[in-house]
Amino acid sequence: MSIIWQIPRNCLGWILVAQFALILPHIERLPWWVMAAYAVCASWRVMVYQGRWSLPPKMLKLVLAVLCFFGIYQTYGTMVGLEPTVALLFSGFCLKLLEVVEKRDVYVIIFLAYFVALTEFLFSQDFLVSAFIFLSILLISTALVALHQHSYDTLNLSSLKKATVIFSQALPLMAVLFIIFPRFDPLWKVPLPSHQAKTGISESMSPGDISNLSQSGELAFRVVFDGEIPARKDMYWRGLVLSEFDGRTWTQAQWKKDFLTESEKESLLGAMTNPLQYTVYQEATHQPWLFSLALAYADDKTIKAVNDFRLVRTDNIHSRIKYQVISDQEAMYGQTLSRIEKTLEVSLPRTGNERARKFAEMTYSRSTGDRDYIDKILTKFNRENYVYTLKPPLLGEDTIDEFLFDTRRGFCSHYASTFVFLMRAAGIPARVIAGYQGGEINPISDTVLVHQFDAHGWAEVWLDGDGWVRIDPTAAVAPDRIEYGLENAMAEEGSFLSDTPLSPLRYRNITWLNSVRLQMDAFGYYWSSWVLQYKGERQLQVLQSLLGEVTPWRVAALLMTVSSVVLLIVFGHLIKGRGEPKAAVYVKWYLRLCRQLEAAGYVRDASEGPIDFARRVDRSNPQWKKTLLSATRSFVRLSYEQVSQREQSLLVKQLRRDVLSIMYQLRVK
């Protein structure tokens, strides 16, 4: 198969570099065979360029495309969704290398690369990711520049330099457009079905579920308080209320999903006597629930309050969001409980965990009331040989019995589940709350960082006259977990983030490393707050500070002013560059040789060629014959022959050596 048009080697090199840079951020989420396909396609393209292989036939390309479709379907089980679509796009992007025949094919693969670069923003918009994608776009633009530079037969940095100059000229306009143009929801805001593992608290809780999250150092959400930050032991971030129990798993009750009316929300706000205001920056969970302190109120149309006193979003959270909350942890809530609600909150499976049921009945019969019974259960956890561990033994069918009387080793979910079971067995309304507890304070940004390992489960019991009251049985077993965090509680066991030994969170005791981590986190917060959240009221405030009054004429004047300044700088640079062209290095060395020979009495005539001049000098003084002819031969080849870049470098070095040798002989003479 004949190749009609060949990619310049410099351009091909930059295309391969740009493709590798684009694939790199997706390595963890793309199937391994996509990277293998890229390696095969890139190697095949190089072999074609070198003339060792021919382009693959149409049938082979068809087979490769079908295999990609089949591989994506086998990996994800469907062709619909965010991850399979991205994998399909990358597969086509790699296979396109085998179809480049004409110049327009190169334009297709380069323009496709620009689109592929944006796919990373579907998953993350952090500063480091954004900076890397900016670099990737620069590499793509370098390939586009190199497409029109046929003089370079190897990867050449001059293409990168020219692309960098173009980017630098565009930066001022980019900044102005970012400041003045209104924000629209981008592509990555569109709700797309995702096959990515859901991050964070799930909608059910079984023994060991939360302990799995405790091996993750990923950020769950960040909180900025308007005033003083509460004590760590007081920060219980409610997420889910689990009221139904099947003997092993706690789940949400269907009726709990009823939303409060606007008047009911306003009554909640009115019941707050000591309100606490804060802003939450929550990471993507692909779930609708939000996290807040007890008795929360949010004045946001996209946020609904549920009748179990938690907050949910009207749609799933596919990217980082920001919402403002008002809470009052001292306020009572749920003082009245209907018969239906009470029936639900005391219900248990008809059979199973018989030992725990009998223990609850016996203990309650010896108690003076609900509060005394609660104290007796917490005292049992505190004084008997119960162990708080991230590595609890597996439980069988009667999970409550086995944990309470046999293993006595568990995580927060074990203690919360068992405590609520014992409450219900005694007829006290109780439920499990799943969320996060505590958080790390970053002193640089004054924010609270809540990580996945802060996931926690606790209980709420309903007491007559007090409503729903938070009870955390884990505090009776491992108070260090509540006061100081999971890392401190697991210090002796050594299981904190044991599955991620390279996580910087494991080395917070190393001062300089922890300082770097906090600095990077603070920078990420400022990036999210001032760049990703630059819209609406904040954008209007910035424009008012720049323009005074925001009017179309003033905005147009700002844009025209910046554009004019940039164009004047570019125009001045172009005018400045219209002077005499700079001589090549080899020309400078040859002219230096001519000046040295002229000083020795050998003047080159204006019409005399380099070879004729060398012969004339040789006839007058043959002692320089070999060196002079060698220098002249190198100069002629560099000036009039088409040589490779490597050979050009060798000839320049040889010319320099010969000129320096003749100069030395002239001085000695």
Dihedral over Cα of 278, 284, 289, 294: its sign:
negative
Yes or no: say if 183 and 539 are a contact pair by the CB < 8 Å rule: yes
Give dist(CA 238, CA 236) in Å, integer: 6
Q: Of 26, 318, 451, 456, which residue is the catalytic one?
A: 456
Q: Residue 194's CB: how many other CB atoms inside 10 A?
A: 16
Q: Of 328, 398, 472, 521, which residue is the catalytic one?
A: 472
Concerning whether 472 is annotated as a catalytic residue, the answer is yes
Give dist(CA 371, CA 384) in Å, integer: 20
Question: Helices 412-425 and 354-365 meet at what angle, rounded to 10?
Answer: 60
Question: What pLDDT sits at residue 190?
Answer: 47
Give 37's Cβ-side CA count (13 Å radius): 29
pLDDT grade for 668, boundaries at 50, 70 and 90: low
pLDDT grade for 55, boundaries at 50, 70 and 90: confident
Nearest 10 degrees: Cα torsion 633, 636, 638, 640: -140
Give dist(CA 271, CA 69) in Å, integer: 58
Residues 6+ apart with CB under 8 A from 282: 220, 221, 290, 291, 317, 320, 321, 322, 323
Computed over every residue of the chain, the mean pLDDT equals 85
Concerning whether 412 is annotated as a catalytic residue, the answer is yes
Question: What pLDDT sits at residue 430?
Answer: 95
In order of 113, 258, 597, the CA distances from 108 in angstroms are: 8, 51, 55
pLDDT grade for 257, boundaries at 50, 70 and 90: low
Token representation of residue 385? 């040989």
pLDDT digits (tens, 9 = 90+) for 601-624: 888 888 888 888 888 888 877 777
Q: Residue holding tokens 């190169």? A: 106
Helix (H) or strand (E) holding 68: helix 58-76
Q: Are strands 430-437 and 236-242 parallel, antiparallel or unpaired?
A: antiparallel
Helix (H) or strand (E) holding 304: strand 303-305
Q: Residue holding tokens 């108070």? A: 479
Question: What pLDDT sits at residue 142?
Answer: 94
Is residue 387 over pLDDT 50?
Answer: yes
Q: Are strands 387-388 and 244-245 parallel, antiparallel or unpaired?
A: unpaired
Which of 69-78, 231-240, 245-254 is the most confident on average? 231-240
Token representation of residue 302? 């996209």
pLDDT digits (tens, 9 = 90+) for 296-347: 999 888 899 988 889 999 888 887 889 999 999 888 888 888 888 899 999 9
Give dist(CA 662, CA 596) in Å, integer: 9
In percent, the amount of the chain with pLDDT more than 90 equals: 30
Q: Residue 118's CB: how many other CB atoms inside 10 A?
A: 13
pLDDT digits (tens, 9 = 90+) for 28-43: 888 888 888 888 888 8
Q: Of 412, 454, 521, 658, which residue is the catalytic one?
A: 412
Question: What pLDDT sits at residue 3?
Answer: 44
pLDDT digits (tens, 9 = 90+) for 114-169: 999 988 888 888 888 899 999 999 999 999 999 888 666 677 888 899 999 888 88
Question: What pLDDT sits at residue 576?
Answer: 67
What are the domain boundaries of the chain? 9-155, 204-512, 536-576, 585-668
CA-wise closest residue to 405 among 440, 459, 354: 354
Yes or no: say if 424 and 178 are a contact pair by the CB < 8 Å rule: no
Is residue 235 over pLDDT 90?
Answer: yes
Q: Residue 126's CB: how many other CB atoms inside 10 A?
A: 17
Give dist(CA 142, CA 164) in Å, integer: 8
Question: What pLDDT sits at residue 554?
Answer: 80
Question: What pLDDT sits at residue 357?
Answer: 94
Token representation of residue 382? 């505190």
Is residue 424 over pLDDT 90?
Answer: yes
